[in-house]
């Protein structure tokens, strides 16, 4: 929503700070982050790797479900290896689901 992103930006900053403070070797962040990878706010997650960019097929668009043209839904990780990433329809949702196969070894 143009010009109505302050709350979203604060939420992203808080989540990114929590991830940065987490000393775990493996971290997984998944969900509707309401931002695309091309949004400058997405840079807050820079230490994490985007499973779609690592091993996804196509653009991985998830919204709107009927004819997706945006990707506000993400699986981000650190300390793992993405084997593949994809999207599929999720009954009852206006988004498509994001899935990823990760190797923790």
Q: Which residue has the tokens 């653009």?
A: 59
- Note whether 96 and 87 are within 8 A (CB): yes
The per-residue pLDDT for 2 is 63
Structural domains in the chain plus CATH codes: 6-103 (3.60.10.10)
Cβ(94)–Cβ(67) under 8 Å?
no
Q: What is the DSSP letter of 62?
A: -
pLDDT band at residue 4, thresholds of 50, 70 and 90?
confident
State the pLDDT at residue 86: 97
Instruction: Report pLDDT digits (tens) over 40-88.
Output: 999 999 999 999 999 998 999 999 999 999 999 999 999 999 999 999 9
Q: And the tokens for 10?
A: 């604060």
Q: Cβ distance 61 to 74 under 8 Å? A: no
Average pLDDT over residues 29-34: 95
**From the centroid of its chain, how far is CA 74?**
2
pLDDT at 5: 85
pTM (2 d.p.): 0.92
């Amino acid at each position: 929503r143009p010009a109505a992103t302050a709350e979203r930006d604060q939420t992203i900053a808080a989540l990114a700070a929590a991830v940065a403070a987490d000393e775990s070797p493996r971290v997984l962040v998944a969900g509707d982050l309401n931002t695309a990878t091309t949004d400058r706010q997405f840079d807050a997650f820079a230490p994490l790797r985007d499973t779609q960019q690592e091993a996804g097929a196509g653009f991985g668009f998830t919204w709107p479900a009927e004819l997706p043209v945006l990707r506000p839904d993400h699986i981000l990780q650190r300390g793992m290896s993405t084997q593949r990433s994809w999207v599929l329809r999720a009954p009852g949702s206006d988004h498509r689901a994001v899935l990823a196969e990760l190797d923790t070894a």
